[in-house]
Structure 1
């Protein structure tokens, strides 16, 4: 589960993005994650990542073709260093939301990385021992896509009866 602070940070990134590009894993978890975030902000294009196991530099051309101002990577545990290198040169922010166990040293400092497994190192050890990946990325994106519910005071209407 993402922390409240992480949810707010991701929401801020989404609000700043005028033409976001969502790269997502080519499975149900990746697709649903993309659809939740796209519906939440009402804009953006999605590209399913069909290369396995990593997001390769071949996908970089989509960033320029679609004139993306923000990149969101969803449910993809492995991203090539060459891809990150290309993106860094054009200075487009990256938000990476994932639930897989990865080597944190492979995450460049300019990437905004969100993974609840890294919120608490003891939890990471527990999860690793269970050989699970925690909640799916769809759930993490669901957390982000929830709008605050407003309380409606019905006392006025009850009084009129």
Structure 2
């Protein structure tokens, strides 16, 4: 690890040119390598306030203190947050794909099953229900006509020769 004194490079040179061009032995930027650090003292990281706090600490002659300034190649570290999202098409494909693998179904087979169900189950039941309602309606009309004194249409008239 290389310790770079604050007064060695100006901030403008570091920020404008980049630390890698000014100092070849400096650490890589934070984007490519992750550094972990632990703050052991209560001295702030801000350079402007460090000198004042160190003077006010009233240290004895035997106390040794080190202030290390570490500069990175970039002045900004971009935080990156990855969020996994699915669109509606991907979600349908995911569900359909897994259902197809699990049950051996494909979309054409599913459509064929739906058509067969309509043809052989739903349509016959609906037709039976329509015929049943029609018969009840015809019987009701015949009952009303008989009640009114008119002959029913289904009444059999004897054939006279």
Shorter-normalised TM range: under 0.3
- Point out the structure with max Rg over C-alpha: 2
Tell me which protein shows more strand as a share of its residues.
1
TM-score, normalised to structure 1, is 0.24
